[in-house]
Structures are given as C-alpha cells and as structure tokens.
Amino acid sequence: MKLIKLPAEERIIFPLDVSSSEEATLWVERLNPFIGVFKIGLELFISEGPQIIEKIRNKTNKKIFLDLKLNDIPNTVSKAVRVISNMGVDWVSVHLLAGSLALRKALELAYNNLKIIGITILTSLDRADLLELGFNAELAKDLKELVLRLAFLAYQTGCEGIVCSAKEVEKVKENFPELITIVPGIRLSEERRDDQLRTATPYEAILLGADYLVIGRPIKEASFPEKVCEEIIVQIKRALEEREDD
C-alpha cells in the first residue's frame, strides 16, 4: 500500500470553521507550526468572501484547501473552478456525485496548479441515510464498495485525491494507491463522535492508509490546542513507523 512521504505534522488539515477573518487568522498564526494544510469551508468563505484566501496566504506558506464541495451541472462546476484557479489555493473539493463530465471539465479548466479533490460519501451519513436518499440496498449496505466506485471515478478522470472515511481508506489505497486520501471524522477517542458516524483515531486512520487527516473540533475545543496537536503528531508518527515495519 502506497503512502506519500510527508512529515507527520504536514499530514494534519485544520478546518477554519469560524465566521470571521480575525478568528481565522488567529488560528493560523497559533497552529502554523503544527499544521500542514488549512481548510477554508463554506462558513468562512461565505462570511468573508474570496479575500479571506489572501489574508490566510499572508499568514502561512502551508497548503490551502478550499472545501466548497462543488456539486452542479458540468458547465457551472467547471466555470467555478476556472475562477477559483486565480484565488491562490492548492486544492478545491468537488462532489464526485456531480459525475464524470463535470469532473473532466473542471480538470480541463483548472490552472495555476490547482488540484481537484473528490468528495465521496460524507462521514455524517450511514446506511440508513443512503437508503433514505434513494441509493439501492446493495450499495447502501456496503459503503466500502460505494466509496470504491466513486474513487475509481476520481482516478479515471484525473483527480488529485479523494475525501473518504477511515473505514474505506484501506480499500481505496489498495486499489488506487496514486490517489491522495484525505480522512475527516478524526476523534482522539471513539467515545466522542459528535455528528460524525464513521470515525477513527489519528493512529488508526494513518495505519489504514490515510495520507491527510482533517482534525478540527478535537483541537479547537481543547484547553491547550498546541498540546493536542503534539499528541496527534505522536500518534501519526507511531502509525507511520508501524507502516514502514510491515
């Protein structure tokens, strides 16, 4: 199983899930030594607009992931990606359920080294949710197979990587080792899941093949966020060492 070569701290993606540029830049300044990627999601992007990207870029040289989860007709998605290419971000997310044509057109119009990250199935969804949404019983029963089909679409169209839960990442890596795997739903303990249903610890996720971990609330809600980051880095290093020994 292929794992990209990266220092442990560069594997942590911190979501800037705040509504003001002041709070976002404070988090960037505070966590910059411990984080590899800063993620801008809908809340911050809608609140502050595209100018927030420049403000974050002025505070760090780390990667910026614009996580907008684009999902629309091919023409709309591709034109949005063309505009985002001028914003100075490294990655932008597109729902793989938008389909192969939307993905191909987005990749055609992306430039300035912008990479497309495909969203598979949200980690807040489980089998019951998928059945409610109209997925057939066979696919809803086996989330790994469903995510694997979407990963194949990402690989076939040329996406840089995908977002999936730790429960599916091992199978994805076995079949598509070239894809970068980004795993959200990371919790320091399985007892604390919040609205995430398919969770794992940092150690578990890296051991299974995750390249990057999205870790927000366990860091943000801690009394000493820097200390939590250090603990996460220790877990990641331990998993990487075990991976190398296999």
Q: Which residues are catalytic?
A: 69
Query: Closest Cα to residue 236, out of 214, 215, 205?
Result: 205
Q: Measured on CA atoms in the order 183, 185, 187, 191, is the torsion positive or negative?
A: negative
For helices 166-175 and 143-157, give the axis angle rounded to 10 degrees. 50
- Residue 226 vs residues 24, 27, 38, 192, 231: alpha-carbon distances, Å: 16, 11, 15, 20, 9
In this structure, the chain runs to a length of: 246
**CA–CA separation, 164 and 172 (whole Å):** 9
Query: Closest Cα to residue 14, out of 237, 240, 228, 243?
Result: 228
Q: Return the DSSP state at 63.
A: E
Instruction: Compute the radius of gyration of the chain from its Cα atoms.
Output: 17
For helices 100-109 and 74-84, give the axis angle rounded to 10 degrees. 30
Q: Is 232 left (phi over 0), alpha (psi -120 to 50) or beta?
A: alpha
Report residue 72 CA to chain centroid gap.
19
**CA–CA separation, 195 and 197 (whole Å):** 6
Reading the block at residue 202, the tokens are 């940092």
